[in-house]
Amino acid sequence: MNFIEKQRDENSPYTQLLMLIGYIIAGLFAFSIIALAIIVAMYGLGSLTDPTILSGGEEKYRPALQILLAATSIGMFLAPPLFLALTERRKINVFYGFKKPEPNLLLIVLLIMIVSMPIMEWTAMINQKMVLPDYLKWIETWMREKEDQAMQTTLLLLKMKHISELVVNLLLIALLPGIAEELMFRGAVQRSFLRIFKNPHVAIWASAFLFSAIHLQFYGFLPRFLLGAGFGYIYYWSGNLWYSMLAHFLNNAYAVCVAWYMQKNNIPLSEADNTSHFAWYGYLISFILTIFVFQFFKNKTSKTYEQQLD
């Protein structure tokens, strides 16, 4: 007789998405409570009713903002996909495709991020110039207000005077989101979408749309949408989440390092998204090279995401 227990089938992708939503709600609640407890220990009970502290409106309260940001990343993006894998009784490394990365593929991912920088800069500038029709001006006004609020928070987080602050931002803005958001959007969401749509392109672009939309930064939607799709194809072709995590980390780390460089050279951070550094043919060359290197990566990967699911 065969006494080996057969591994049960996974829940449907629809059930998995519902479970993710439930875990997100629970994760946000639990880690927000933890974050608030830490903030109260640091600033006293008055911090719960002081909007200046909870919003990080002043530089001296920036640690509170960093704690809330870390709690959001963990509760909303990191914990839910981990609990999903545990619920499905699957090993996390198998469920999401964590394998020992190959050095040559890591280098290709680095090359992708380098050659795509100019074209991503161009899409960011195009997005910044977005203007809605007159009958939608009220929406545009609301989006601008939200964008300004997000910019104030970002500028506060990116104020760095010492190397220790650079290291903290690399951990908080580059490493943690690179791991957590890739687990959520490429590992969990894209994986479920692929099972639903049976079409990798639809799954990749749909999860990229959610990835960009959830940030609620409308004037950065396009470049983040394209980045999400790029991360999605890297994951789909390789079947290994380490590569998309590396790409995500490199993108965010570059932004943090640019902010560090600008401050060291007394350049206003507000100029970062509105300055063109290349001639038109530079953007064209970047686009062509990006497509070429993506194709090169695809050809070099030995297993596809579909094979990973078999």
Neighbouring C-alpha atoms within 13 Å toward the C-beta of 205: 5
> What are 248-258's pLDDT values in tens digits?
999 999 999 98
Model confidence at 144, pLDDT cuts 50, 70, 90, reads: confident
In tens, the pLDDT along 119-137 reads: 999 998 888 887 778 777 7
Does residue 160 carry a pLDDT above 90? no
* Share above pLDDT 90 across residues of the chain, in percent, rounded to a whole number: 55
d(CA 25, CA 35): 15
pTM of the model: 0.89
Residue 199 has pLDDT above 60, yes or no: yes
- The model's pLDDT over 215-234, given as tens digits with 9 standing for 90+, comes to 878 878 899 999 999 999 99
State how far the Cα of 83 lies from the Cα of 79, in Å rounded to an integer: 6
Banded model confidence at residue 309, pLDDT cuts 50, 70, 90: very low
Predicted local distance difference test score (pLDDT) of residue 270: 64
Mean pLDDT of the chain: 86
Q: Residue 152: enclosing H or E segment and its boundaries?
A: helix 137-157
Would you mind telling me the total number of residues written for the chain in this entry?
310
Q: What CA–CA distance (Å, rounded) separates 283 from 124?
A: 12
At 179 the pLDDT is 96
How open is the CA angle 211-213-219, to the nearest 5 degrees?
A: 120
Amino acid at 297: F
Instruction: Give the residue with greater pLDDT, 281 vs 169.
Output: 169
Give the residue-averaged pLDDT of 63-83: 93
- 255-279 tens-digit pLDDT: 999 888 888 887 777 666 555 677 8
Determine the Cα–Cα distance for residues 240 and 279; give it in Å rounded to an integer: 36
